[in-house]
Amino acid sequence: MRAMNLDIFSLQGKCALVTGASRGLGQGMAVALARAGADVAAADIPALPPDDTCKQITSLGQRAFALAGDLGKSDVPEKLFAEAVEKLGRVDILVNNAGIIRRAPAVDFSDKDWDDVIQINLNAVFKLARAAGRHMIGAGRGGKIISTASLLAFQGGILVPSYAAAKGGVAQLTKALANEWGSKGINVNAVAPGYMATDNTTALRADPGRSKAILDRIPAGRWGTPEDVANVVVFLASSASDYVNGHVLVVDGGWLAR
């Protein structure tokens, strides 16, 4: 049996845009892509500049650019992508990671909370992917588009109707774009994290009863980490995944298997 060629996981010479990159999963993804050899434009809202992420990336010998933009504003996604192209020279990899969550019973869920979540978690994902598709098709080099979905692309969740709807939309959008762009050399996939030890789950992890109930269902017996997801994103961004398209890859320690 021939030895495996690990070069297929290298991102040397590639350029990536990662949204929601100042902390948590997004920071882990951005740094992991740099560790694999990519230059990275790290984007987040103005109130959360990704300076630490960029510092980690440059320490690895890769170029890093901090971008600021509120994806809750309809004109920002395309402007942000254009800025990334300007800074990097091109974008080979788009990681649509930015997202928010609002919790309330459906009967009390406000129009604003619904609209805010759909705008950032779904509308902005489409607009960034559309900009990336135009850029990648125009350049004729193909590329990789990776979005952050969720277990709630498969399950309904509790008290998060807009989040579940948006993540279900991300999963279907991933498949639709893969159907259109697969022949152009563009792979469109998503990663669906399970219960991760990030800011979004601080309240859950601080509740002993809720935390135990969650951990009891996860065969791995632990909360996930940004590194768990970041390693999968590197795979989806690399040549190792060239025949993976339209897939939502679950990273949940076995949660859905229960």
* 174-189 residue pLDDT tens: 999 999 999 999 999 9
Decide if pLDDT at 4 tops 90.
Answer: no
Triad 106, 112, 114: Cα angle to 5°: 45
Statement: residue 11 has pLDDT above 70: yes
| Structure-block tokens of residue 61 | 């010998």
Residue percentage of the chain with pLDDT more than 70: 98
Residue 56 pLDDT > 70: yes
Give percent above pLDDT 90 in the chain: 95
Supply 65's token pair.
């650019």
* Ramachandran class of 208: left when φ > 0, alpha when ψ lies in -120 to 50, beta otherwise: alpha
Q: What is the pLDDT of residue 203?
A: 85
Paired strand residues for 43: 19, 67
Instruction: Tell which CATH architecture fits domain 11-250.
Output: 3-Layer(aba) Sandwich (3.40)
pTM of the model: 0.96
Structure tokens at 13: 């010479």
The pLDDT value recorded for residue 231 is 97
Choose the catalytic residue: 65, 81, 114, 163: 163
Give me the mean pLDDT over the 17-28 stretch: 98
pLDDT at 153 over 50: yes
pLDDT band at 204 (very low <50, low <70, confident <90, very high): confident
Indicate whether 3 pLDDT > 80.
Answer: no
DSSP classification of residue 224:
B
Q: How confident is the model at residue 2, as a pLDDT?
A: 54
Average pLDDT over every residue of 222-249: 98
Q: How many CB atoms lie within 10 A of CB 37?
A: 17
pLDDT at 1 over 50: no
Question: Across all residues in the chain, what is the average pLDDT?
Answer: 96
Q: Give DSSP secondary structure letters for 141-207.
A: S-EEEEEE--GGGTS--SS-HHHHHHHHHHHHHHHHHHHHHGGGTEEEEEEEE-SBSSGGGHHHHH-
Q: Which residues of 103-134 are buried (b: 16+ CB within 10 A; e: fewer)?
A: eeeeeebeeebbeebbbbbbbbbbbbbebbbe
DSSP, collapsed to helix, strand or coil, labels residue 108 as helix
Q: What's the average model confidence in pLDDT over 31-44?
A: 98
163 among known catalytic residues: yes
